[in-house]
Amino acid sequence: MKRFAQLCMLIFAFFCTTQTLHAENINKAELAKKYNLAEGKEIYENSCSACHASGLLAAPKFCDIAAWKPRMANGMATLIKHTLEGFNAMPSKGGLETLSIEQSSNAIAYMVDQCLF
């Protein structure tokens, strides 16, 4: 029984460490280097905020840390994939098919950037 408890603790520690490593990959400096956050802000304000400001259709509210933390733990690649392909009730590109991959990436990067301290 003692070995089982130790094994459970080891597995728990592994998953906690893995989540921390993923979360550390997203930081403000890297986002500012890789993405046009000003453009992302404009896209968010003109489009994404229609759902994400209020949580319409269960969209994670803008800067709701409890909602965004597990999403951010998956990394930017997953967030961008979900933005481009759609996820749950959100259609691909939030229903704005005219957005480029770069514009969509900038929008999600802006949203993530605003959740980081």
Q: What is the pLDDT of residues 42-80, one digit of tens each?
A: 999 999 999 999 999 999 999 999 999 999 999 999 999
Closest CA to 110 of 74, 61, 62: 62
Q: How many angstroms separate the Cα of 88 from the Cα of each of 12, 14, 70, 82?
A: 28, 28, 15, 9
Q: What is the pLDDT of residues 2-42, one digit of tens each?
A: 565 454 444 544 444 434 334 446 889 999 999 999 999 99
- State the CB neighbour count (10 A cutoff) for residue 26: 19
Domain ranges of the chain: 2-115
CATH code that applies to domain 2-115: 1.10.760.10
The answer to whether 103 touches 39, Cβ cutoff 8 Å, is yes
Side-chain-side CA neighbours of 69 within 13 Å: the count stands at 6
User: Model-level pTM greater than 0.85?
Assistant: no
